[in-house]
Structure 1
Amino acid sequence: ELPVDENGLVSGDDVRAGLRDDTILVAVMWANNETGVIHPMDEIVQAVADHQAFLFSDATQAAGKVPVSMDGVDLLACSAHKFYGPKGAGALLIRTQSPPIRLPKLLHGGAQESGRRSGTLNVPGIVGMGAAAQIASERLEKDAAAMRSRRDRFEQGLLEIFPEAFVNGAGAERLPQTSNVSFPGVKAGDMISEIGRLAVSTGSACASGSGAPSHVLSAMGLTKEQAQGTVRFSMGRHTTDDEVDSALELLGAYARRHGLVSAPSTL
């Protein structure tokens, strides 16, 4: 387990310091799914290469949002639904350069998936994922610029409504669509339930409902109360300016009802 700084970043130096003589694999997510913080993969790739270990990166949150490369990465995972492909389809990319990577079979039986996972191939899912990846690649710069612009405008408006709120990971490079915001004195779950009309979350989808503070935010130095007052907002390819304004209006109304700030009635 590697340490992170106040922005949730894993540095190349931390990776290098954490490597042991018996380390054969390093696993680092490309971008964090809660905060959107993008790790310095060039630094990490170099640190792992100098040690001659293997590098696996979970790029599920990054693929389709920012450029992702296999350069220096041995194994990379991504999921189709994260870039508007079909749910239930994913990919594990394995570098082909020497020396070869030999993985044990996940399921035994037929020779599908290069002998690693037996069972009838999900052809519609595979084709759909490929098509979605092609579209995402073609639209990458345009979509990222639009989402980043709306995210920044949303954060600016949000911090005007809640002056004591803060954006987690704001000091690092982030995915263009993600805002992870802590609201001091607010219970995030209660806030989400009361507002109702916003499809937002208190953490990652795989950990929602656990009741425990986010381990990501805790590692960044947030207190239990701060972590429990945190909401993750996400933009998408189809998010509009009007929807951003509507979200700010709903949040402003919540702030006024609870006397958190003298927020204006229209934004």
Structure 2
Amino acid sequence: MALKHEPTAPYHSAQDALRVLETVARHSTGVTDAELARRTGLSRERLTTLLLMLRREGYVEQVADGTYVTGDALTRLSSAHGHDQAVREHLQRTLDRLRDSVGAAVYISRYVDGEVKVTQYAAGPATPAVNEWVDFRYSAHATAVGKSLLGQLDHNGRRDHLSRHKMARLTSRTITSDKLLLSRLESQPPTVPVLDLQEYAIGTVCAAVPITAGSSVGCLALSLPVEHAHRLRQAADRLNRGATPVLLSLAL
């Protein structure tokens, strides 16, 4: 399966953050922000933003003399023992923070062995999760998650998926023409969130942004009750800005 990846802003930010982390890790006694800027080639403004995020995520710590050292979260994620569990727990904390920041339920989804799979999510009483009334594996044509994942495949990959999953009409807004869906996916810019405006379920709107880690296809999504639809685009932009720490967890 060929992929149609175009790196997005969160991807570039995650790559920059990895460079910062690698530099900090090489200086066990601490490194100043001036030295970090020099060694990574990042502007001071860009570096300051990344360091704020890395401190919030527990990847780096600032010690008494003002220098930066490796944080507890990075130590846990770098350990071979219990690595998968540590990543899952760290991702959950990141998703919980993102849910509170965006004010919506948030989801990580991956395209695994030709199927859509929601791997983790964060919801709450004020930010309810989507009611999965039709299995997400069979409704990629109608969901923001599914369309974002399909959009990252090449044309043959999309056709293969649609040949295996009938495009059922789930609501009056669902696209059931493969020709129309393929045309929309082809023209969707990778940097613009994919939307689902009550195509999967009446009463729910969703948005998804790609998160590309290596050769795997993934996305970060949110859902809102339709009465909050006026917040969707703003929430999607905030989701996109908050995708960097999620990508970073997946890349470590």
TM-score bracket for this pair, using the shorter chain length = under 0.3
TM-score between both structures, scaled by the size of structure 1: 0.23
Q: Which has the higher strand share?
A: 2
RCO (CA 8 Å, sep 6+): is it higher in 1 or 2?
2
TM-score between both structures, scaled by the size of structure 2: 0.24
Q: Which has the higher helix share?
A: 2
